[in-house]
Amino acid sequence: MSDLKFVVSEFLEKNQILPIVVGVGSVIVLGTVVANCLWGRKSKKQVKKTLVDPNVKYPLPLIEREEISHDTRRFRFGLPSEEHILGLPIGQHIHLSAKIDDDLVIRAYTPVSSDEENGYVDLVIKVYFKNVHPKFPDGGKLSQYMNNMKLGDTIDVRGPSGRLQYTGKGTFLIKKLRKDPPVKVVVKKLNMIAGGTGITPMLQLVRHICRDANDPTELRLLFANQTEEDILLRDELEKYQSDHPNQFKLWYTIDRPGEGSLSYNERSLCNSFLFMRFPVLHRDLASVTC
């Protein structure tokens, strides 16, 4: 998942603009206006970047595949050399494309790896198998295609994409349209709501802020899943929560709680929970969801 919805009330009011759509997904409301967007930052390292031109497709080979759950996989694709990084700003996404049954299929994803890792890029993707969901009997074309890839097979990658960048210390650069000049917005607090593999862009932001001792931005994350077993990247998220208890707050909600899941919030309680834990009417606050 790569689509995020972003709200900065003060920015929208001052500039009198409507929500912008960036990426894939629907807009939701968190008390004010919410708009799709993605963020990132420029790498300061003088290293070799893979994504030199956002209009060029780069074929990357599959070098590793790991089964995380019954329907979720981690795909590792190799970069041109061990010295290369992907070159993707924090939170922005890439497009993967492949020719499937004579159709060009393109999907947007956010890596779980960062530019601190050289030589590879990792993607955590949910595989939508055919004949599982009655509304989508054919399943997901690209996710099933990737699940059937053999080691050494390549897939085309293009990017970076996104109209918003996070440059650190609560600072965002927002573009209403792709060719517009960016407008700087500074916040002190960030609400995040993620579902399933939508955690991947959130993790990039959590990781970046928590690793930066000079970034005081406060983070609140509500992570929704079907079951407790579906919670992805749980160990890393809880490690950041444990190491940064005053800066990063983490909650889960699950649709089908099992025995002993008393620490989780049921979906029916979500609205009251959000009002209690997630303030939305604050001039220095932004909210994102994926």
Report the chain's C-alpha Rg in angstroms: 19
CA distance 50 to 86: 5
The annotation status of 141 as a binding-site residue, yes or no, is yes
Residue 6, marked binder: no
Hey, how many other C-beta atoms are within 10 angstroms of the C-beta on 165? Answer: 24
Question: Does 107 appear as a known binding residue?
Answer: yes
Tally the residues of the chain. Answer: 290
φ and ψ of 138, to 5 deg: -85, -10
Q: Is 109 annotated as a binding residue?
A: yes
Q: Taken in order 209, 211, 212, 215, is the CA torsion positive or negative?
A: positive
CA distance 93 to 40: 9
238 three-class SS: helix
The response to whether 267 counts as a known ligand-binding position is: no
Going by DSSP bridges, is the β-strand pair 189-195/285-289 parallel, antiparallel, or unpaired?
parallel
DSSP string, 13-57: HHHT-PPP--SSS----SSS--EE--------S-SEES---TTS-
- The reply, when asked if residue 176 is annotated as ligand binding, is no
Tell whether residue 129 is among the known ligand binding residues.
yes
- Report yes or no: 142 and 124 within 8 Å, Cβ to Cβ: no
Would the annotation count 143 as a binding residue?
yes
Q: Which residues are part of a known binding site for FAD?
A: 107, 109, 124, 126, 129, 141, 143, 200
Q: Which residues are part of a known binding site?
A: 107, 109, 124, 126, 129, 141, 143, 200
